[in-house]
Structure 1
Amino acid sequence: MADSKPSIAVIGLGIMGGPMAANLVKAGYSVTGYNLHADKVQQLVDAGGKGADSIADAVKDADVIITMVPDSPDVETVALGEDGLIAHATKGALWIDTSSIRPDVAVEVAKQATDAGLEALDAPVSGGEKGAIEATLSIMVGGEPAAFERAKPVLDAVGGTVVHVGPSGSGQTVKAANQLIVAGTIELVAEALVFLEAYGVDTDAAIKVLAGGLAGNRILDNKAASMVAREFNPGFRVDLHHKDMGIVTSAAREAGVAIPLGAVTAQLMGSLRQLGHGDLDHSALLLLVEQLSGRTKDTD
C-alpha cells in the first residue's frame, strides 16, 4: 500500500533529481519536490508528484529527504541556515544527500543534521541521466548502518546497485574514485577513437570488437557511438565532472596518494571547460583530443 511507505521530499529536480523523483512516484511513494526552476517542479507534478514553493514547505512533513544539487556550497545552502532543511525537517527524518560533494563537507553537514535530531547519509550516484531515468544507478552510501537499512528500500527504487561503504563521508570518497576512473576511461576512449579515425578504420566495427575484449567498458558501450557522431547532449556535464576532478585531486593530495594520470585528466577536463564546452557531456573530451591532434571537425 502506498500509504505504508514513507513520504519523501526531493530537493533538486534537474537532470538526475527529476528522473529519480519520478521513479519514486512510480514505486508508489508520495513525493514532494522543490527546485529553483518552477518548470522542473511542474514536471514532477505532471508525473504524479507534488510541488513545493520552498525547501521548508517540501520537508516539513517528510519522513525521508533526498537532495540532489550540484556542489558542496549548494548542499550547505540547502541544508544549513534559517531556510535550510535541517531547520525545518521533522525530528527523526532521514536525510539522504545524493549530490557529489567533498567528503569533508559530507561529514560536517551530517554531524549538524545528527545534532539536530535527523539521520543523515551521503549517497552519491553513478550512471548518468540514463541510469537515473532507468532506475539503474549505482549508489555508494556512507553513514550509520541502521540509517542505511532504513534508506535501502527507497534507494532500491532509483538504483540497481546500492551498497553501504562505510561511515559518513565514505560514499563521497568512493564517488571521487568513481569519477577518477570514469574521466580517465573517457579520455582513453576518446584518444582511441581519434586514433582509429586517423587511420580510416571502420569505427563501428572497431568499437564492437574492442567492447568484446579486455578493453571492454561502459564508456564504449554507452558513449562511443555518440562520440563518433559528435553528439554531446549532456548526460553528465563537463562543468560537473571538472568539479568532481577537483574533489578527487584535492582529496588525493591530502591523503598523500599519487594520481599522475588522474591529475593529467583533470587538467584536460579543465581545459575543455575553458574552451567553452562546460555544458556538453563529459564525453566531449573527444573534441579536445581532436584539437590537440590538429583534426578538428565542424560540429553542430
Structure 2
Amino acid sequence: MTLSVGFIGLGIMGRPMALNLRRAGHALAVWARRPEATAALTEAGAEVCASPAAVAARSEVCFTMVADTEDVEQVLLGTGDSGMEPVIAGAQPGSVVVDMSTIAPSAARRIAERLASAGIEMLDAPVSGGEQGAIDGTLSIMVGGPASTFARVQPLFERMGRHIVHVGDQGAGQVCKACNQVLVGHTIAGVAEALLLAEASGVDGAKVREALLGGFANSRILEVHGKRMLDGDFAPGFKARLHQKDLRIVLEAANELGLALPGAAQVQQGLNALVGQGDGELDSAALYQVLKRLNGGDSTHPDRDP
C-alpha cells in the first residue's frame, strides 16, 4: 500500500530518509529552508512545496527532521516570527505527524497535545545510526505515541530503519533517544580515553583497538569512532554541535526529574569545549581532540594548518 507522504527537513539525515520513502513508491511532498537541499528529491520525482502547511495538505503522514525543539515548534505550530505557514495550518484531521528530530520529551508531549486539539495524530520517533544508516535505510527508530498510530506508520518506518521499537506513549521515543545519547557520549569518551592511554604508553593504538574489538569491550563506537580517532578523520557523520544539543536535552530532563547524571554532564562539558573551539561541525568523535589537548597533546586542529 502506498501513501501520500510529506517530509520537512532535508539535511544530512532527512534527505536520504526522504529519498528512501520516495524509492518505495510513495507520493512525496517536501519542504526545506534551503532550496538547494531539495534538488535530489526533485530528481527523484518529489513535489517541492512552498511551505510546511502545503506539505501537510498533500500528506496522509507528514515527517519532520529538523535541528532542535524551536525548529519543530516553528514548522509544526508556527511559533516564532518566521512568517511560514506551519503544518497545523494545512494538515487534515485524521492525518499523522511524525517528528523524527531529537527534542525534549516534555516538548514532544506538549506539541502532541496541540496537534490533537486540531484532530491530528502525532508520533515522536527519533533515530540513531547516523548519515550512513539514513542512506542505507538501517536506522534504529524509537517511537512514542498511540499503538494504533504506530501500526499505521510502521510500513513507512520500515523503509527508513531496520530496528524499530514502539517504546511507549507520547514522549517515550524522545526519552529513549536521550538514553541513547547518554550511552553514546559515555562510550565515545571512554574510547578516546583508552586510545590516549595507549598512545601515552607508547603502544600502537591501532593494535589496541584490534585486540579490544575481539573482546568484551567491543562496540560499534570502538569500531567506527575508534578508527576515526586513530586516523584523525572527523568528517561529520553526526555533528558535535548536535550531540551537544542532545546532551543539553538530557540534562534539562534530568533537572526536571531531580536526577543526578554526573557522567553525562562531564561529556557535555567536553562537547561544550569542542564547539567553543570552533569545531562544532566536526563529528562528535572529535571529543578525542579535546581530551588530547587537555592532556597537553597537539592542540592544532587535524584539518587545519597550525
**Residue 29 of structure 1, aligned match among 20, 26, 31:** 26
Paired residues of 1:42 and 1:51 also in contact (CA < 8 A)? no
Distance 2:299 2:52 in 1: 45
Paired residues of 1:239 and 1:273 also in contact (CA < 8 A)? yes
Counterpart amino acid of residue 12 in structure 2: I
Identical-pair percentage: 43
Distance 1:131 1:201 in 2: 33
Secondary structure at the residue paired with 1:214? coil
Equivalences, count: 297
Distance 2:116 2:13 in 1: 26
Residue of structure 1 equivalent to 2:197: 195
Residue of structure 1 equivalent to 2:145: 143
Distance 2:208 2:23 in 1: 39
Correspondence 1:13-162 to 2 at 5 A: 13-81=10-78, 83-162=85-164
The 10-residue stretch of structure 1 (70-79 or 266-275) with the greater mean CA deviation from structure 2: 266-275
Structure 2 spans left out of the alignment, 5+ residues: 79-83
Secondary structure at the residue paired with 2:165? strand
Counterpart amino acid of residue 236 in structure 2: P
Paired residues of 1:24 and 1:157 also in contact (CA < 8 A)? yes
Coordinate RMSD, CA, aligned:
1.3
Residue of structure 1 equivalent to 2:273: 271
Distance 1:274 1:56 in 2: 36
**Residue 288 of structure 1, aligned match among 287, 290, 294:** 290
Distance 2:52 2:146 in 1: 25
Distance 1:223 1:30 in 2: 37
Distance 2:15 2:191 in 1: 29
What TM-score comes out, normalization by structure 2 length? 0.94
Correspondence 1:158-169 to 2 at 5 A: 158-169=160-171
Counterpart amino acid of residue 157 in structure 2: L
1:45 is displaced (CA, Å) by 1.4
Distance 2:30 2:201 in 1: 51
1:297 is displaced (CA, Å) by 5.7
Distance 2:85 2:45 in 1: 26
Counterpart amino acid of residue 53 in structure 1: A
Residue of structure 2 equivalent to 1:221: 223
Structure 1 spans left out of the alignment, 5+ residues: none
Distance 1:89 1:260 in 2: 42
Secondary structure at the residue paired with 2:278? helix
Residue of structure 2 equivalent to 1:173: 175
Counterpart amino acid of residue 64 in structure 1: V
Counterpart amino acid of residue 202 in structure 2: G
Secondary structure at the residue paired with 1:109? helix
1:33 is displaced (CA, Å) by 1.3
Counterpart amino acid of residue 171 in structure 2: G
1:275 is displaced (CA, Å) by 1.1
Paired residues of 2:20 and 2:160 also in contact (CA < 8 A)? yes
Counterpart amino acid of residue 113 in structure 1: L
1:202 is displaced (CA, Å) by 2.5
Paired residues of 1:127 and 1:136 also in contact (CA < 8 A)? yes
Distance 2:281 2:163 in 1: 28
